Structure 1
Amino acid sequence: MKFRILSVLFIFILLLPNLTNAESTDNWAKLDELSGQALLMVKQERYEEAKQLLQQFSNDFLLNFRNGTFSMDELRVITVTHNSALEAVTSTSNNYDERLTKVTQFRLVVDAISSEHQPLWTEMEDSIMTTFSVMKQHVLEDGNSQSYQHQLNIFLKKFDIIHPSIQVDLPSSQIQKMDSHIHFLDSYRNEGLKKSTRIQQMEQMELDLKELFDKMTEDEADPSLIWVMISTGSVIILTLSYVGWRKYKGDKQKKLPKRDTEE
């Protein structure tokens, strides 16, 4: 009997971290839903309701999550994008596009933190890569034209929307590489660079952009999660098997005196 109690207790201890993680995941799912509702309100131009949802997010976030749950970088990105989104829907000086951009940034960050694979920001891949291809084509055809400048502005705006999210999902080395590309395009947009120099930079940037999206769309299971599942499952199976063997042995021993009496 004592062994069974200890076995159940041991299994509970093993599963306790997973139960805690499940509770944390459930709380974050509610916050994720709030960010999605806030974005929907902005799309419908219901800014006061969007403001209330963002304020509720802040209150619930402080209530449910303590220091140590997130890294310093994640906390910084959450805080910055949330403040920007709240300011955007509150200030009357912001137009619809500005509000939509800031709240979308925040929405994508919240999703990026909870999504292991294929976060929402990766859905902008086709749009971003298409704009980049059009921009590159303008350079190939007529160099530093007004059309190129226009497409560059569109590209920079689109990439700015996902930039906070990639800070959450990607290593700093990859972020620095992309920031370097962006800085080059923006800083030398009006410089009389050779077409070959600009194209060479853009071709490398195109490869790095594809790598950025490909890295997040790989649908692979987390090796650490698989190990936890295997370990926990093995312990449970072994424990139950041992309990069953002890029960079988005990039942067998109970029958032995009865046979001796009959003989």
Structure 2
Amino acid sequence: MKSRIMIAIMIFLLLPIAGYAEETSSIDRLDQLSDEALQMVKLHRYEDAKKLLDYFSDQFRATSGQVSILTSDEMRILTVSHDEAVQATANATINHNEKINRVTKFRLVMDAISSQNQPLWTEMEAPIMTVFGEMKEAVYNGDKEHFQSKFNTFLSLYDVIYPSMKINVTGERIQRLDTRIDYIDRYRPQVLADEGTQQELEALEADLQLLFDEMSDDEADPSLWWVIISTGSIIILTLSYVGWRKYKGDQQKEKNRSRGQK
């Protein structure tokens, strides 16, 4: 009877892990589909990309009951980025680079949802910070035309990672970045001569660099900690049960020995 109770307890403890694995598996499959769609766009196979995106939608609906780890904000961001990707692959008037940008945006969103630890959008650090440095150099060289060009490039790159950033970064931090970027954009005609706008430029660069640095730090996957804690509980419970059985067995032996001596 006690052994049956022990087995039931162990099964109960294992159920959350099994459920989490099922959800993770569903997310991973969807993540793979988003990557395959992006690869098709890079190869100019837009029709195949759209088929994969449509299939993604079907699979997402089929597993929506299992994928319960998504928040309402994540659902909204994912839906919007997916719709933009579908429109890009279906619209012949959209150029190749814009198609890649929109499907990349969707790909990064899906990855940000499936992998909280060092998401793919952090790999955009090099191009974004390089363009930002060139933008600053143009300001201090008094090259207005070059600044305008580099700032537009920066905005395009930032737009690609923005939805996925909103999944992994706090709303307060996103708001601070938005405020700085909006300020520079609003006063861009005067940026070469206005010291205040230049200070905002420096502050924005520092905020972005700090964000990328923090996101690149190695951190333990929260799901791994859950597995460790759950598995550890099972091991401790099992060892406790084995120890209890051994203790009861020793007690019974001692009683039998006492009876034999009488």
TM-score, reference length from structure 2 = 0.90
| 2:103 paired residue number | 103
Query: 1:152 and 1:221 mapped to 2: Cα distance?
Result: 36
> Residues 62-77 of structure 1: matches in 2 within 5 Å?
62-66=61-65, 68-77=68-77
| 2:217 paired residue number | 218
* Pair 1:180-2:169 in alignment: no
CA contact (8 A) 2:78 2:106 kept: yes
> Which range moves more in the overlay, 168-177 or 229-238?
229-238
CA contact (8 A) 1:78 1:110 kept: yes
Structure 1: which 5+ residue stretches go unaligned? none
| 2:141 paired residue number | 141
CA contact (8 A) 1:81 1:105 kept: yes
> Residues 19-98 of structure 1: matches in 2 within 5 Å?
19-66=18-65, 68-98=68-98
| 1:169 paired residue number | 168
The one-letter code of the counterpart of 1:242 is Y
CA deviation string 1:176-213 (max 9, x = no partner): 11111221222222246634222201011011101221
| 1:158 paired residue number | 157
The one-letter code of the counterpart of 2:208 is L
> Which range moves more in the overlay, 47-56 or 242-251?
242-251
Change (3 A) 1:230 1:119: same
| 2:119 paired residue number | 119
> Which range moves more in the overlay, 79-88 or 114-123?
114-123
3-state SS in 2 of match to 1:173: helix
Give 1:258 shift: 8.0
CA deviation string 1:25-59 (max 9, x = no partner): 01110000000000000000001110010001111
Query: 2:224 and 2:28 mapped to 1: Cα distance?
Result: 19
Query: 1:191 and 1:183 mapped to 2: Cα distance?
Result: 14
CA contact (8 A) 2:50 2:89 kept: yes
3-state SS in 1 of match to 2:215: helix
CA contact (8 A) 2:142 2:192 kept: no
Query: 1:202 and 1:24 mapped to 2: Cα distance?
Result: 42
CA contact (8 A) 2:191 2:197 kept: no
TM-score, reference length from structure 1 = 0.90
CA deviation string 1:48-78 (max 9, x = no partner): 1100100011111111123853111101100
CA contact (8 A) 2:104 2:160 kept: yes
Structure 2: which 5+ residue stretches go unaligned? none
Give 1:18 shift: 1.7
Q: Percent identity?
A: 46
CA contact (8 A) 1:47 1:89 kept: yes
3-state SS in 1 of match to 2:59: helix
3-state SS in 2 of match to 1:190: helix
CA contact (8 A) 1:41 1:47 kept: yes
